[in-house]
Amino acid sequence: MEDIFTKVKNLAAGADDTQRKELIIALRDLSISLEKPDDSLERIAYSPLPLMGAKMGKDLGVFQRLSSDSSNVGLKPLAEETGADPLLLGRILRYLSSVKMIEEPDLDTFTANHVTFALASPKGESYIDVYYELACPHFYEMPRFFKKRGYVTPTDPSNVPLQDAFNFKGDIFALAEAFPEKGELFDRHMKLSRDCFTNWSNITSILQEREQSHADEVVFVDVGGGVGHQCARLKAHYPNLSGRVVLQDLERVIHNASPIPGIEMMAYDIFTVQPIKGAKCYYSRGVLHDFPDDKCKIILHNTVVAMGSDSIILIDEKVLPDKNINWQATSLDLQMLSGLASQERLRSHWELLLGSAGLRIVDFLPHTSGGYEGIIVAAKAI
């Protein structure tokens, strides 16, 4: 048995990122295939607890404390530092150790592992807070909501499990505006959660083919681009880009955005006609997955009518295979369903949606080999 573990570890050590992820999925599937019925039932029944444990660990400062110390830390000093009852803290820490968020090298002694460092990072803390505070409440409402409504797909973002969870009438964006602390959690998570996904070499190669000969022409419009994180990254990766780069979002978002050298900022509502005509590239990242199909058709049509003969739309989203989708993507799909009446779309679904708006898919450029995240390149159908 030890030989098998050693071979797997050696295989993982020599794997690239795509192979590493494939190995994780294969080992997870193998683990599930070895389960007896009671094993499966316990795994499913206890599945909400890791996030709850992580939230307590984060709030107590355990992950920060352990990740800042290269040596082992005893229960007693941890209790003194956190102010927690040693008996209660010990139980929480032993749970965290059992699910590998921390390590327990000796009796009442704890230390960090690679998961601890992930949870102590700004991105890790954001995941814990936003899923505990915003996502899980509407996850828990899904069974009741869909049973009560006969398991019909919702199309109104103001009538999904989210409203039942928070006893609120508006959609998630209205919720974030009505409760600023929730809005701050949401905005911070959006900034941190997807930093690593965009493959800028794909985008810059497209832009190199479409650079403007005149500096006053628009080469790149970031539609619904928030406060400009992607525009800033574009400029960092392609500082000599010829042509104007424009960031668009709602007026309240643009008002709060800090100036970015070389980036023009424009207040714009995606449900109105695109005011910039004939730009080379209209880019959107994670916008369409926030809306059901009928709203997406309006958004796309508003851009199509502004496109020139050589304009393209770059859609930075997940494109899912038609079968055997990984659990992370299907989980996010249910999250979009219960929070926004929207979805993560299959390749075939993207083709239908874009076709209905007068577009055709020219190419799909994945950000990583074998990954779902990537750039859909779309042009006018005629």
> Catalytic positions, please?
289
Sheet holding 312-318, edge to edge: 263-267, 244-249, 218-223, 281-285, 312-318, 373-380, 359-366
Judging by beta carbons within 10 Å of its beta carbon (0-12, 13-18, 19+), is residue 50 exposed, middle or buried? middle
In whole angstroms, give the CA distance from residue 378 to residue 371: 19
CA distance 46 to 68: 30
281-285 and 312-318 strand pairing: parallel
Rounded to the nearest 10 degrees, how much is the dihedral formed by the CA atoms of 71, 125, 32, 112? 0
For 380, phi and psi rounded to 5 degrees? Answer: -60, 140
Q: What angle is formed at CA 344 by the lines to CA 339 and CA 346, rounded to 5 degrees?
A: 155
Residue 5 class from Cβ within 10 Å (0-12 exposed, 13-18 middle, 19+ buried)? exposed
Token representation of residue 69: 């110390």
In degrees, to the nearest 5, what angle opens at C-alpha 266 toward C-alphas 261 and 267? 140
What one-letter code names the amino acid at 239?
P
H helix or E strand, kind and range, residue 331: helix 327-340
Q: How far apart are CA 32 and CA 24, in angstroms?
A: 12
